[in-house]
């Protein structure tokens, strides 16, 4: 099936990937449609009755005390979106925009937001037709959710702003004309339902989590290749040690490394000479494992958030209540994504330390900078610089955003989460970490070549064999960047991990 049915309760991370990156269609579940209709009807009735409800018959933020005349209700909602669509910066990539639209539709299908089925269906149609709003990355403080970027999504439904359709950027009105659709006419509460919530930071976070699952496996594989190249000793991975400290991630990494290096002639030949290695090898289960546990925590928070109602006010139409609470506040996602960034950065940090050992002949017992005739050839001297530069960049990015609240809306919104930036920099740290792991894989494979004719373990050997299909042995100095870019491609698309798992079974 290539259609995801949305009820606001059962969306999975795999569904997010399928819609955001594989082009799956979406459809609102029949039972959700009834709830949506009932809620919207209640809001319309309240307006007719003259009830004072925040964001429906009042202004927004510090203007909540201003009562809006009934005949200006539609103008109120449109003005909200137009005025709040004020972002700067590069636009989010297509997969993120699709994830944003998916998650916004999903939360609105719960039927607690007062949006009409007709308006929500327009966003469904956009997603299914491949009409993707241009959404700037800068502008959200993550307090009333992601007001600014979500407004850029929402204004496209009323024919404003820009979209990308069939690979071309155009005005939303032009795209609507091309597909034979008309701009929606917003009803009470609909503008606020569309732009109020944690959807953007959550969309970025969801895709980060999916990609981190691949990154963590690559980190263990690259580490096992470094262990072979540095003729590590296996004692630090002994199950008995880790059973005495039953941290989940630590145990998983130790098991992965044991399986990867099992049967290694290199490690067997050298293990009698030493009893321990440097921390970047000996403690990799503890370091990788702690980051795995942290990312597992973030995954749990993301999975909760993608099926949550996060706008304001929340319409409990069956009870006749509209409650102006704080579910829009991005604190849970902001703290989680700051944690994510720290966890991802540590994979890069320890990876770079293994790279540094590989190129240092005094520590590695390998040719200086992993190349024959060193001196004439610089070999892998400068890729370690590149890794070090990226790790240093990550250290700055890993500073938590959530502690840097800044008041907005005339101090009505006097504590904000900065979750939008927490998510964005989490993405950058993850991308940087993949680059450092790619550098390690290039270096480790080069080191493994110098250990021949001794054979590596079954898993690390499968990684080496697959890697060498795409990146050749570095005999003498040549243009280095293409090798690093190819290694990064293999890391990001999971090619090496797939080869390993075909050889020894799935890694955890």
Q: Is the pLDDT of residue 410 over 90?
A: no
My answer on whether omega of the bond before 313 falls inside 30° of 0, hence cis, is yes
What share of the chain in percent tops pLDDT 90? 86
Q: Which two tokens stand for residue 213?
A: 């699952």
Q: What is the pLDDT of residue 111?
A: 95
Mean pLDDT within 226-251:
96
Per-position DSSP letters for 11-79, written without gaps between them: --HHHHHHHHHH--EEEE-HHHHHHHHHHHHHHHHHHHHT---TTTTB-SGGGTTPBPPGGGHHHHHHH
pLDDT in tens, 368-409: 999 988 889 999 999 999 999 999 999 999 999 999 988 888
Give the start-to-end residue ranges of the domains of the chain: 3-197, 204-314+334-402+421-504
Q: Is the pLDDT of residue 65 over 80?
A: no
Q: What is the pLDDT of residue 83?
A: 96
Q: Is the pLDDT of residue 62 over 70?
A: no
Q: Round to whole Å and give the CA distance between 437 and 261.
A: 18
Match domain 3-197 to its CATH number in 3.40.50.1390, 3.90.660.10, 3.40.50.720, 1.10.275.10: 1.10.275.10
Mean pLDDT within 480-494:
98
Q: Is the pLDDT of residue 29 over 90?
A: yes
Q: What is the pLDDT of residue 54?
A: 83
Q: Round to whole Å and give the CA distance between 118 and 145.
A: 23
pLDDT in tens, 451-461: 999 999 999 99
Q: What is the pLDDT of residue 476?
A: 94
- Between 472 and 411, whose confidence is greater? 472
Q: What is the pLDDT of residue 413?
A: 81
Q: How many CA within 13 A on the CB side of residue 474?
A: 29
Q: Burial, 320: exposed, middle or buried (Cβ in 10 Å; 0-12, 13-18, 19+)?
A: exposed
Task: Name which CATH class applies to 204-314+334-402+421-504.
Answer: mainly alpha
Mean pLDDT within 228-233:
95
Q: Which two tokens stand for residue 255?
A: 């098991």
Q: How many CA within 13 A on the CB side of residue 182?
A: 4
Q: Round to whole Å and give the CA distance between 34 and 141.
A: 34
For 306-380, where are the alpha helices, taking DSSP H only? 331-359, 361-364
Per-position DSSP letters for 433-501, written without gaps between them: HHHHHHHHHHHHHHHHHTTTTS---HHHHHHHHHHHHHS----S----HHHHHHHHHHHHTTHHHHHHH
Q: Which two tokens stand for residue 361?
A: 């002949």
Instruction: Give Cα separations from 283 to 145, 190, 289 (angstroms).
Output: 40, 53, 10
Cβ-contact 237, 285 below 8 angstroms: yes
Q: What is the pLDDT of residue 427?
A: 98
- Between 316 and 76, whose confidence is greater? 316
What share of the chain in percent tops pLDDT 70? 100
pLDDT in tens, 341-373: 999 999 999 999 999 999 999 999 999 999 988
My answer on whether omega of the bond before 453 falls inside 30° of 0, hence cis, is yes
Q: What is the pLDDT of residue 303?
A: 98
Mean pLDDT, rounded, of the chain: 95
Q: In what order do the strands lie in the sheet with 168-171?
A: 131-133, 162-165, 168-171
Instruction: Give Cα separations from 40 to 44, 78, 145 (angstroms).
Output: 6, 17, 22
Q: Is the pLDDT of residue 445 over 90?
A: yes
Q: Which two tokens stand for residue 300?
A: 């749990």
| Catalytic residue of the set 24, 54, 92, 474 | 54
Q: Round to whole Å and give the CA distance between 147 and 151.
A: 6
When mean pLDDT is compared across 108-112, 209-213, 415-419, the lowest value belongs to 415-419
The three-state secondary structure class of 50 is: coil
* 265: confidence class by pLDDT, cuts 50, 70, 90: very high
Q: Is the pLDDT of residue 247 over 80?
A: yes
Mean pLDDT within 211-220:
98
* 436: confidence class by pLDDT, cuts 50, 70, 90: very high
* 272: confidence class by pLDDT, cuts 50, 70, 90: confident
Q: Is the pLDDT of residue 51 over 90?
A: no
54 is catalytic: yes
Strands (E) in 18-84, as ranges, are: 25-28
Rounded to 5°, angle at Cα 203 from 167 and 150: 75
Mean pLDDT within 79-96:
97
Mean pLDDT within 21-31:
97
């Amino acid at each position: 099936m290539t259609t995801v049915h949305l009820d606001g309760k059962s969306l999975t991370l795999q569904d997010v990937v399928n819609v955001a990156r594989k082009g799956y269609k979406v459809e609102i579940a029949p039972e959700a449609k009834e709830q949506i209709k009932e809620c919207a009807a209640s809001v319309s009735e309240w307006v007719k009755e003259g009830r004072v409800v925040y964001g429906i018959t009042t202004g927004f933020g510090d203007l909540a005390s201003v009562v809006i005349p009934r005949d200006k209700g539609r103008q109120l909602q449109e003005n909200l979106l137009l005025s709040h669509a004020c972002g700067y910066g590069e636009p989010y990539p297509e997969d993120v925009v699709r994830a944003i639209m998916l998650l916004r539709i999903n939360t609105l299908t719960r039927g607690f937001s007062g949006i009409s089925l007709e308006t929500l269906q327009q966003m469904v149609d956009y997603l299914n037709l491949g009409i993707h709003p241009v959404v700037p990355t800068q502008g959200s403080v993550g307090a009333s959710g992601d007001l600014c970027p979500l407004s850029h999504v929402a204004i496209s439904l009323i024919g404003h702003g820009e979209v990308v359709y069939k690979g071309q950027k155009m005005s939303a009105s032009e795209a609507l004309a091309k597909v034979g659709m008309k701009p929606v006419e917003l009803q009470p509460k609909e503008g606020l339902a569309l732009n109020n919530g944690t959807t953007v930071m959550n969309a970025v976070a969801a895709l980060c989590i999916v990609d981190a699952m691949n990154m963590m496996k690559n980190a263990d594989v690259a580490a096992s290749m470094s262990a072979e190249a540095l003729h590590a000793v296996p004692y630090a991975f002994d199950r008995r040690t880790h059973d005495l400290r039953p941290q989940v991630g630590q145990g998983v990494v130790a098991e992965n490394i044991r399986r990867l290096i099992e049967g290694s002639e290199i490690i067997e030949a050298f293990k009698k000479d030493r009893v321990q290695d440097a921390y970047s090898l000996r403690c990799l289960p503890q370091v990788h494992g702690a980051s795995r546990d942290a990312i597992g925590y973030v995954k749990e928070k993301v999975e909760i958030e993608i099926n949550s109602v996060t706008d304001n006010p929340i319409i409990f139409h069956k009870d006749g209540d509209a409650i102006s609470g704080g579910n829009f506040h991005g604190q849970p996602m902001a703290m989680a994504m700051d944690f994510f960034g720290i966890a991802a950065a540590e994979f890069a940090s320890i990876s770079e330390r293994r790279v540094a050992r590989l190129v240092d002949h005094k520590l590695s017992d390998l040719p200086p900078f992993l190349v024959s005739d060193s001196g004439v050839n610089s070999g892998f001297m400068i890729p370690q610089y590149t890794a070090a530069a990226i790790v240093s960049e990550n250290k700055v990015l890993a500073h938590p955003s959530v502690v840097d609240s800044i008041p907005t809306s005339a101090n009505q919104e006097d504590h904000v989460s900065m979750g939008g930036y927490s998510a964005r920099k989490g993405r950058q740290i993850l991308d940087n970490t993949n680059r450092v792991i790619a550098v390690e894989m290039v270096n480790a494979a080069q080191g493994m070549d110098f250990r021949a004719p001794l054979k590596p373990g079954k898993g690390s050997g499968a990684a080496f064999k697959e890697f060498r299909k795409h990146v050749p042995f570095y005999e003498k100095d040549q243009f280095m960047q293409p090798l690093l870019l190819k290694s990064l491609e293999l890391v990001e698309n999971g090619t090496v991990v797939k080869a390993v798992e075909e050889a020894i079974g799935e890694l955890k």
